[in-house]
Structure 1
Amino acid sequence: MAEFKASFSGAAPAPELAAPLAALWWSAKGGWDEAHRIVQDQPTADAAWVHAYLHRVEGDIGNAGYWYRRAGKPAAAGSLETEWERITSALLGAGSA
């Protein structure tokens, strides 16, 4: 996680990052549009989970709920920061980098 966060000083995420992690990278940098573009057409459950998070950030809870269901995850209720950490930790731990 520390290495991932340290990469925020760069201009773009590492090219080897899987799409969901690249989207989380952009989200952390304030690049919602870029993050959404990356995951919106990805067919994986991990991408759907990040997509749900992004719609929650946007404030579109109804759309977020759809994507949580697609991801097979419960809708998050805590802070956005906590959710970002949880998703990122899960994806980094799953070897998605």
Structure 2
Amino acid sequence: MTYNEFIASFANELPPKGISRQLESLWYDGKGDWQKAHDIADGPSDRLSARIHAYLHRKEGDIWNADYWYRRAGEKRPDISLEEEWKTLVKRLL
């Protein structure tokens, strides 16, 4: 799946079949459903899920919590816009 195909899938009611849990979380966030995105990201303990969780808390404005999750992911909070971070994460997962 390409980035443009992923974006086009927002026209659908449900995310594309076969995508990862992390990408599904970003899909819901991209559709404007932060809570569903967070519910999906909040559970798995792997670094990639922690990275998505960090982004979601940064978007929420809870920087302290976001920084905790960035540390769990082994990364630092990026100095880029939320939009850029989302796009970077999606491309990383595709």
TM-score category of the 2 structures, normalised to the smaller one: over 0.9
Select the residue among 12, 36, 55 that pairs with 2:38: 36
How far did residue 14 of structure 1 move?
1.6
Query: Equivalences for 1:15-94 in 2 at 5 Å?
Result: 15-92=17-94
How far did residue 73 of structure 1 move?
1.4
Inter-partner Cα distance in structure 1 for 2:17 and 2:49:
17
Count of residues paired in the alignment: 92
Give SS of 1:68's match: helix
- RMSD value over aligned CA atoms? 0.8
Structure 1 unmatched ranges of 5 or more: 93-97
How far did residue 69 of structure 1 move?
0.6
Q: TM-score, normalised by structure 2?
A: 0.93
* Number of the residue aligned with 1:95: none
- Identity of aligned pairs, percent? 46
Q: Which deviations, in whole Å up to 9, do the C-alpha atoms of 1:8-65 show, x marking residues without a partner?
A: 1111112311111000000011100000000100122111111000001100000000
Give SS of 1:84's match: helix
Structure 2 unmatched ranges of 5 or more: none
Letter aligned with residue 7 of structure 1: S
